[in-house]
């Protein structure tokens, strides 16, 4: 099984056909949807199933102009770094030797090293956070998580915030690592995310397995 086969199987299911109708209707009404349809599965395209080392779960794509590009927490080059990602960089700078916060918020280089940057919902209406929740995307991405849990081993899942914590039920903790903290958003980062040492822990786990660490 690879992601292309997985996506084809899911797209034949009734929930996904209902999701497709919803998205088509939104577009017919003239609503602006982010990211572009070509980027819905960007996380899966950049991080093949058998190459995954780490999964970072997000909730919803960014809903501002030019922000979303199919990777959780990430924005394209040239786009202002969002507050949650600033806190992610702050945590990296305090816990990973030699990390200097970059001027870009583009995390594509993480994805290419085996960090799956997966949002639970893969599209959103412009300026309307959470507008595509409960339309089918969660079923799709829950099945992504289950597929990883069932077919891979020793994957490190980073679950930040209560929404991500609920996804822990999909993960077989007897064969995977699950690290939890509060969300990196300014509302909660100081209640546990900053100082969680997740990025340092990820590299320690990988090195103990004899694998290359992530160059954050």
User: What is the CA angle 113-80-85, rounded to 5?
Assistant: 50
Nearest by Cα to 118 from 26, 3, 1, 33: 3
Half-sphere exposure of 83 (CA within 13 A, CB side): 8
E-strand ranges in 139-176 read 156-160
The reply to whether 77 belongs to the active site is no
Q: Which residues contact 123 (CB under 8 A, 6 or more apart)?
A: 23, 33, 34, 35, 40, 61, 132, 137
Name the CA radius of gyration of the chain, rounded: 17
Of the residues 60, 77, 142, 172, only one is catalytic, namely: 60
75, 102 in Cβ contact below 8 A?
Answer: no
Q: Which residues carry out catalysis?
A: 60
């Amino acid at each position: 099984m690879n992601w292309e086969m997985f996506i084809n199987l899911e797209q034949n299911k009734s929930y996904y056909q209902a999701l497709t109708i919803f998205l088509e209707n939104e577009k017919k009404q003239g609503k602006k949807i982010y990211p572009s349809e070509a980027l819905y599965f960007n996380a899966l395209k950049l991080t093949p199933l058998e190459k995954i080392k780490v999964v970072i779960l997000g909730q919803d794509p960014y809903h501002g102009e030019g922000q979303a590009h199919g990777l959780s927490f990430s924005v394209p080059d040239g786009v202002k770094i969002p507050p949650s990602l600033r806190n992610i960089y702050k945590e990296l700078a305090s816990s990973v030797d030699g990390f200097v916060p970059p001027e870009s918020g583009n995390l594509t280089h993480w994805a290419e090293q085996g960090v799956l940057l997966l949002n639970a919902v893969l599209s959103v209406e412009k300026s309307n956070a959470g507008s595509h929740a409960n339309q089918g995307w969660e079923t799709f991405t829950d099945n992504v998580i289950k597929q990883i849990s069932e077919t891979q081993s020793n994957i490190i899942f980073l679950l930040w915030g209560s929404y991500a914590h609920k996804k822990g039920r999909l993960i077989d903790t007897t064969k995977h690592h699950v690290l939890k903290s509060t969300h990196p958003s300014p509302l909660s980062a100081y209640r546990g995310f900053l100082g969680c040492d997740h990025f340092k822990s990820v590299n320690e786990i990988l090195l103990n397995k004899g694998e290359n660490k992530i160059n954050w």
